[in-house]
Structure 1
Amino acid sequence: MNILQILPELNVGGVETGTLDLAKYLVRAGHKAIVVSAGGDLVRELESSGAVHYQLSVNKKSLFTMIKTVPLVAQVIKKEQIDIVHARSRVPAWIAYFACRKTRCVFITTCHGYYSKHIFSYVMGWAKRVIVLSNVIARHMIEDFSVAHERIRLIPRSVDLERFKYLSPDKKRKKEFNVGMIARMTPIKGHLHFIKAMARASRTIPQLKIWIIGDAPSSRQGYKEQIQVLVKRLGLWHNTQFLGTQRDIPAILAHLDLLVVPTTTQEAFGRVIIEAQAAGVPVIATKVGGIVDIIEEGKTGLLVSPEDHTAIAEATIKIFKDPALARRLSESALEKVKEKYNLELMFKSTLGVYKDALENFKILIIKFSSLGDIILSTNAIKAIREKFPLPHYKISLLVSDECKEVLLGCPYIDELLVCDFKNKDKGLKGLLGLGAILRKKYFDKVVDLQNNQRSHLLSRLSLALERYGYDKKFGFLLNYRIKDKKPIIDPLTHQFRILKMLGIEFDRINLELWPALGDQNYIEELFSSEWVSKNQRFVGINISASRKWLTKNWPLSYITRLCEELSRLDMRVIITGSEKDLDDANILISSLKSAKPINACGKTTVNQLAALIKRCSAYISPDSAPLHIAAAVGTPFIGLFGPTDPRRHIAPVKNCIVIKKDLSCSPCYKPKCKSKKCMQMISHQEVLEALDKLLAK
């Protein structure tokens, strides 16, 4: 793998050391390690290990500089053929994010801090995988930045046990009792509370020596002076050493009897704690952030409340007076460090995250409606699953609430996402909210089988790197698109033109539906109540196509005649339709003389209707969803077409007959018509003859 890490600078610090250690490991493991930073003291050591460094201005919080740096980082990604970009701080993360969008490279972040809930911090949660150092940071990213739990990876910082050699507190203890604090000089690190605590402790520990390791950044020189003034005012100047920034932390720890970490705010982890524990130094720390993951109170260290200098002083005195306690704490802490915070474990875990991000993908299929079109999409859905199998590909499908039932049993999707454009997802606000949900799930590919303005917009709002569909209105929002050709093609071929961009060929017709056993039993009970024998042949007739598309409906009087003819041929009829069709069904049944059809209008769900149609010897319907259900369950059917073109709307299956009259005005695609001549010209006798041919096959 070719891995690029990006961070502000390569100077001394926990993030910088971790970056350097990981780069060395990647090189040793045979991978290419690239680091982009603004430079620093660790660059020479990095390059001597075999890693490559690019010095760019990725440390400046200047919008102009950040925008200017994006193409430069993108050039590095292309030149080095980078597989993963791993950002370790917010400014570099913004630059890396847009560089990755530009190059379609995998983007990963590590959250090294407890970030304020500010727009500037959100980019840390926009990665395919978000590495956190502690459970506290994980909860913070999930709750405050809406990062999906499935994208979070917990990898604590680690310590090099070869560098930090364990030395028992017993062997270190001399006349002087050395208490140290290792941290940058910033207010959140709690230096002032530490000094006050040491002043109190010094009354009991006469040979107390205070070591302050770390310096203040240029913007915090005033804070450094404030610390020094406090040290002098409390009479600790001769007891205190300001050692500044130190590279050789193991040497410092080898002389410390106690480390205090008095952080006042949420700490992401606290690398210095595990370094001290590896070196045998007992630790007192505040109960904040990731520190509580590391220290088990009274077992691997002592915990105190933040900003409580009295508690720090008392804990310090406790350690001083009880060498046995110091030894027990250090021994228990060492065992935990060896088990959970060793360098090799961190490296392997990070490498595992990289492999996971490169090998596992999420695909979103968008198909809201209509019911018939969704049934026709099952061929494409299965083909997508066959091309992108488990376990490395997870497929989600976005469907409308009114059509979700048909896909509940689909074995080719891993997650069904339901939208409701009539209620909760209504309007622009609802659409943006739905887009936010899709972004949170972090899809790698979107296959838009709906192909309208709304679906194209949602494809773009998902921020998926690859978005496939037809180049219609708003088609510019897709980055893999094709023109909708003018020649008339069947709906399956039409869908597979999109899938061809994914390397999927249309090689067979394979529509499917998945009625459950309960649906089948329901239909058997319905038939039993109507005295239908298992050997009896019966024909299903869909009484109506749509209340909105009245032009699609076959005249009720024609259905009446057909029912009478079928009765004379000893064929039972079952009438299907929705609850809205009940009045027409009752009129039909009351007008029949000899035929005794079964009225199933409004009595079935979609999957129950599929089980019903599967039991039919044949099925007759105008252009509507039940026609496609028949095709999916393998029941021979007759399609009655008038205002629409069957070449565009019917699956090219073999066991069907389409009846359509060629009129100068057809297909008109008009839902209303005064004459409805195209459907009235289809006689019941013509349908009967077609049925005879179909059953003869």
Structure 2
Amino acid sequence: MKTVLVLAPNVKPYPGGAEIYISNLIEHLPAEEWRVICVTENVPEIKRKNISYIPLIADIERIRSNKTVTWREMYFSLFDQLVELENEKIDIIHANSMEACIIGKILSIQMKAPLVATIHEHMPELKSFGRGRVGLIFDNLAPDAIIAPSSYYFNRTAAYGYDESRIYKVMHGIDAEEFTGFRSKIDLRKKDALNILFVGRVYETKGLYYLVKALVNCDIPVNYHLNVVGPITDASYKEKIDDLVCEYGISDKISFTGAVSPDMVKEYMSASDLMIAPSLDEGFGLAIVEAIFMHIPVIAAKVGGIVDIITDRKEGLLFEPKDVSGLIKCIQTFISDPAMIKKYEKNAFIKASALFRIERMAKETAGVYRKVIKKWEN
């Protein structure tokens, strides 16, 4: 059994697509004959066979101490917590973020093991010194392979100039049984209403403002209620939405839950008739796949990795991002043609079952590991 060293800043239950991705992968790699050592900040309480964790937490007092060189501690003190790895035979290293690539490259050189990476960050080139960040990861550190969990990530990595022969598209997978087998314990449905669901952080990129604008301008012949499930991470953006809600007097039709547990997300999904994902940019669309496995029809913006999940008028309805009139037409189609929507829902479930299960993702990822190791050894 070979060993993969996974570098993950966070894992479940820490919220986020990157965290769910790597956690699901870690849990299913042993079935593909891989032993996993995961370095992370928040070590899970549940222990599993052939999976071990090493906590890696920044020592703030040591960094700030007047007895140390702050910059040196910032860059290198984490490695002092990894000395137990020096006695391990590591076959490959998998970094799950840009910052993990930096640690991963140092370990790769020291341990003489290839480095693969999955980069989930959205538009890192727009952050401070973004061009430098991207250049460091893809040009200078140059992992031996990049695993792209959607077409969006594949195309973005290629656009950065990274060798396409070293980019492997392995579609994001989830534990489908968590959703297909979910049994609700709480009745969250609004009676005699169309229950609409939005899942995601409340900030500009998720496009919630355009969904609310569509709802207030759409002549919906039935009562409706929108549940916004996710943390509010941009207060000024939330105020902009509140102003719109107040202007049209629909505060009784929208609920903001804030951050909730994964099980509560499932509860809200089970209470929903329709999910709408109006994102302006989306690396994949994890919540969409989760909703599909719970047989919820989806309307979504035609952006990023969402097009891997939904083909317009085949697995759901798509509209152009920021196109309020296009979204309104999709909502009207959903209401007026339930038979067609049921067909889309069925098609989506069949597609998700074939492409977006964690078992397939783990198997394909293990295959990438073997290919990279073989190239490394040759």
TM range (shorter): 0.7 to 0.9
Taking the aligned partners of 1:77 and 1:2, their CA distance within structure 2 comes to 12
Cα gap change, 1:139/1:337 in structure 2, threshold over 3 Å: closer, same or farther?
A: same
Change (3 A) 1:128 1:227: same
For 1:29 and 1:355, how far apart are their aligned partners in 2?
11
> Is 1:322 the equivalent of 2:323?
no
What is the correspondence of 1:325-340 to structure 2 with a 5 Å cutoff? 325-340=340-355
Q: Please name the residue that 1:13 is paired with.
A: 16
Summarize the alignment of residues 213-612 of structure 1 with structure 2, pairs less than 5 Å apart: 213-217=229-233, 220-246=234-260, 247-248=262-263, 249-265=265-281, 267-361=282-376, 393=378
Number of residue pairs aligned between Structure 1 and Structure 2: 350
Q: Is the 8 A contact 1:159 1:343 kept in 2?
A: yes
Q: What is the letter of the counterpart of residue 200 of structure 1?
A: N
Change (3 A) 1:319 1:49: farther
RMSD of aligned residue pairs (Cα, Å): 2.8
Residue 38 (structure 2) aligned to one of 35, 39, 44: 35
Tell which structure's C-alpha radius of gyration is larger: 1
Q: Give a deviation string over 1:283-338, Cα, whole Å, max 9, x none.
A: 11111112112211100111111112222222122212221122011001111111
**Residue 195 of structure 1 is aligned with which of 204, 208, 212?**
212
In structure 2, list runs of 5 or more residues that go unmatched: 61-69, 126-130, 183-188
Q: Report the Cα distance in structure 1 between the residues aligned to 2:115 and 2:53, rounded to whole angstroms.
A: 19
C-alpha contact 1:74 1:103 (8 A) present in aligned 2: no
Instruction: Tell me the secondary structure at the aligned position of residue 373 of structure 2.
Output: helix
Residues 78 and 233 of structure 1, relative CA distance in 2, 3 Å threshold: farther
Query: Deviation of residue 147 (structure 1)?
Result: 1.0
Q: Does 1:151 align with 2:166?
A: yes
The 2-side partners of 1:223 and 1:90 are apart by: 27
Instruction: Assess, with a 3 A threshold, how the Cα gap between structure 1 residues 95 and 59 changes in structure 2: closer, same or farther.
Output: farther
Report the secondary structure of 1:44's partner residue.
coil
TM-score, normalisation: structure 1 = 0.47
Contact 2:179 2:293 (8 Å CA) reproduced = yes
Output the CA distance in 2 between the equivalents of 1:282 and 1:63.
Answer: 51
Secondary structure at the residue paired with 1:250?
A: helix
Does the Cα contact within 8 Å between 1:58 and 1:95 map onto a contact in 2?
no
Q: Which amino acid aligns with 2:220?
A: T
Counterpart in the other structure of 1:83: 91
AA partner of residue 361 (structure 2): M
1:113/1:299 CA distance change after superposition, 3 Å: farther
- The 8 Å contact of residues 278 and 321 in structure 2, kept in 1 or not, is answered as yes
Q: Show the counterpart of 2:56.
A: 56
8 Å CA contact retained: 1:106, 1:128: yes
- CA displacement at 1:215 relative to structure 2: 0.2
Query: CA deviation digits over 1:441-498, x for unaligned, max 9?
Result: xxxxxxxxxxxxxxxxxxxxxxxxxxxxxxxxxxxxxxxxxxxxxxxxxxxxxxxxxx
Counterpart CA distance in 2 for 1:321 and 1:64 is: 63
1:115 alignment counterpart: 123
Q: Secondary structure at 1:280's aligned position in 2?
A: coil
How far off is 1:205 after superposition? Answer: 4.2
Q: Distance in 2 between matches of 1:58 and 1:103?
A: 22
Bigger mean CA deviation after superposition, 328-337 or 253-262 = 253-262
Shift of 1:65: 5.6
Counterpart-to-counterpart distance in 1, 2:3 and 2:103: 19
1: CA distance, partners of 2:86 / 2:54: 14
Contact 1:3/1:33 (8 A) holds in 2: yes
Could you tell me how far 1:232 is from its partner in structure 2?
3.1
Report the Cα distance in structure 2 between the residues aligned to 1:354 and 1:141, rounded to whole angstroms.
19
Asked if 1:141 is matched to 2:157, the reply is yes
Contact kept? 1:24, 1:50, Cα under 8 Å:
no
Give the letter for the 1:105 counterpart: A
Q: Distance in 1 between matches of 2:105 and 2:74?
A: 11
Q: CA deviation at 1:76?
A: 5.0
Q: Distance in 2 between matches of 1:161 and 1:147?
A: 32
Map Cα deviations across residues 157-209 of structure 1 (whole Å, 9 max, x no partner).
11222111189xxxx997211111111222111121122122223x4144211
How far residue 72 of structure 1 moved from its aligned partner, in angstroms, is 3.7
Instruction: Return the offset for 1:155.
Output: 0.7
Task: Give the Å deviation of 1:352.
Answer: 0.9
Cα pair distance change 1:319/1:174, threshold 3 Å: farther
Work out whether residues 173 and 257 of structure 1, in 8 Å CA contact, stay in contact via their aligned partners in 2: no
Using the alignment, how far apart are the partners of 2:59 and 2:339 within structure 1?
47
Closer, same or farther in 2 for the Cα pair 1:32/1:69, shift >3 Å? farther
Aligned equivalents of 1:324 and 1:360: distance in 2?
51
Question: Structure 2: which amino acid aligns with 1:2?
Answer: T
Cα distance change of structure 1 residues 356 and 330 upon mapping to structure 2, 3 Å threshold:
same
Q: Label 1:59 to 1:100 Cα distance change in 2 as closer, same or farther (>3 A).
A: farther
In structure 2, distance between residues paired with 1:9 and 1:38: 6
CA contact (8 A) 1:37 1:58 kept: no
Over the matched positions of the two proteins, sequence identity in percent amounts to 25
Q: Residues 100 and 283 of structure 1: is their aligned pair in 2 closer, same or farther, counting only changes over 3 Å?
A: same
Shift in alpha-carbon separation, 1:121–1:184, aligned structure 2, 3 A: farther
**What is the aligned partner in structure 2 of residue 386 from structure 1?**
none
